[in-house]
Structure 1
């Protein structure tokens, strides 16, 4: 880098600011084993920070399916889907998703981030208006800002604001509403039935990103939309949470599928996911559908967590495995996270810009890998911290 460039000093300044604000983040390597995290110093923690809600990431049946897929299809897809990267394994996964979720077509992507951006960049044009819940994921917000459409944000889960916004933009060529089914930092549900009703009344399209609802909610784990009794125009299903793997699918009509196949650059110009992965994901769909005990156990763990912490307003009660403990300032949150870590519990330490200022929180997540005793011990420790007794 040129000595005359201002970029190095700018980088150093921005990093120093992050450090001073207590917002600096870093990557750590862990070994995952039976719901536990083992760090580079061989310290072991109960994992209450991941998104493996159904415990499939290390499920023997899923591991075996991926190994079988490697034997059948090799390590990689070798090309983009429109060249030669689309295999019978991909085709079977798309078919199983459509049969399960009730859509005409599915389009596979390597991440939920790229799936969200592909839809927004491809479908929306200049003059269109995109309405997004204020707490939508960064992938959705970034795509909305960069798209040719005009993006408007409505107050979180506020139906009246969405309705008035849609009415004010009645002359737009197309109006497109996007919300999440379950919000990742708050663990709350979107009022999808009301949103769908407002969209129908205003002739707007509805897209739901159900990254944290699919597999967890609804009959056979069909997710937030099934739980609310609606079907959106487009549903985003990601495989990095309850599926225990990675990747995503856009569930849509045959016409939208054809359109995205032509114009979604994230799809056209990316190497397809490995067919062995698609093969294993088909197995994951089967497990999710039939293993209702996993959802029942999550409900049991959730009930225990809230029972222990029922008297503390910092703990947000949710119907999902995401349990925020909102502590406000960054220092208080980091101190609480360190106390939990010292006691053998690893929780998410969430701070701005991931969440709004003064809403730093512990993002505690439940998984079927945990036991009632694990959850009870964590909840009791959180209670003691909130009550000021950090040595219990």
Structure 2
């Protein structure tokens, strides 16, 4: 019976220590979390600048609801597009130094819209093997030939581009890889795109707000500009709210608005959110002290960890992964940390490759140096 197949599948997940479980937070997003009545020091969120619980941003969201109501009422191309969304999109384009931007409900929706809008049968997508699942799914939806090159392997990518006979080519990469924390070689990727007449799609979910002057992201971090760049940033991580956007050349964004099915055929986000995000952009731009503090926390963590058998991956970003390897062992270490009232998520396949299960430490500007030292002291004591 079909239900028996499901039950067998769930049992298999348990055997392989791969079943995922939700934990219900009883507090707002913060390093000071409460779960089942128990206080925890959390290193889990992507709220890199600590804006998710910023009172100014919460008040802007409430003000937006008072001004614009609680819902958009329709898809953007019917009647769900509002003047405040125009204002946000113009602000995002100016912030990123592009001609135009288009707001989406989530980063997943944005990525699902981009790749099928710019490629199809007869085209070829060249994707880093460690790209986020949304980019993988988007490539499959596009029905183009999908070529996945080894992580940040420019030689393999160049070879594949040179031998491609596709009419249109897209190079697609995370900017900051969400489970490793490393930064893609964007200047070299853009050079390859120019040499082989390809688009370059950059998913900057974990770089926007954190990297670059004024938090303008990974592309600004490298000082890049090109009509070939299709830039996606999310607004639910460092921006502290929700949503996403795509920025780029005006014709590129117009084409995306016409062809992205995940934009055309979905109800638009509430306009109140755009009102709040205008506040978030100002907080990001004025957030130099937050970013400086974040970099200091990264230095504290990397300088005080003393691991022998576990491996701290090299990362200059708030994502600081410790690879343990075995699924069950990683779960056990995460459980031991929770016994010490420290919450660090255990990340297992298929999110990461088999044999590379890890603790994914996420630092935020809301953490203190004392928080980080408590974490490093505990990890040093638990490590074999």
TM-score range, shorter chain: over 0.9
**Superposition map of 1:16-165 within 5 A:** 16-33=11-28, 34-40=30-36, 42-165=37-160
**Superposition map of 1:118-267 within 5 A:** 118-169=113-164, 171-231=165-225, 233-267=229-263
Which secondary structure does the structure 1 equivalent of 2:151 belong to? Answer: coil
Supply the RMSD in Å over aligned alpha carbons: 1.2
Distance 2:159 2:311 in 1: 32
Task: Assess if the C-alpha contact under 8 Å between 2:208 and 2:217 holds in 1.
Answer: yes
Which of 267, 284, 287 aligns to 1:288? It is: 284
Which secondary structure does the structure 1 equivalent of 2:311 belong to? Answer: coil
Distance 2:235 2:172 in 1: 19
Distance 1:122 1:59 in 2: 36
- TM-score (norm: length of structure 2): 0.97
Moved over 4 A (4+): 310-313
Distance 2:327 2:166 in 1: 42
The alignment covers a number of residue pairs equal to: 380
Give the Å deviation of 1:145: 2.1
Give the Å deviation of 1:310: 5.2
Q: CA-to-partner distance for each residue in 1:359-386, whole Å, 9 max, x for gaps?
A: 0000000011111000011011111112
Give the Å deviation of 1:317: 2.8
Q: Does 1:325 align with 2:322?
A: yes
Which secondary structure does the structure 2 equivalent of 1:82 belong to? Answer: coil
Which secondary structure does the structure 2 equivalent of 1:363 belong to? Answer: strand
- TM-score (norm: length of structure 1): 0.95
Q: Does 1:355 align with 2:349?
A: no
Distance 1:134 1:385 in 2: 32
Q: Which residue in the other structure is 2:378 paired with?
A: 381
Q: Which moved more, 1:236-245 or 1:249-258?
A: 249-258
Distance 2:195 2:364 in 1: 39
Give the Å deviation of 1:248: 0.6
Unaligned runs of 5+ in 2: none
Distance 1:226 1:262 in 2: 27
Q: Which moved more, 1:264-273 or 1:205-214?
A: 264-273
Task: Assess if the C-alpha contact under 8 Å between 2:96 and 2:216 holds in 1.
Answer: yes
Which of 306, 309, 312 aligns to 2:305? It is: 309
Task: Assess if the C-alpha contact under 8 Å between 2:306 and 2:380 holds in 1.
Answer: no
Q: Which moved more, 1:313-322 or 1:56-65?
A: 313-322
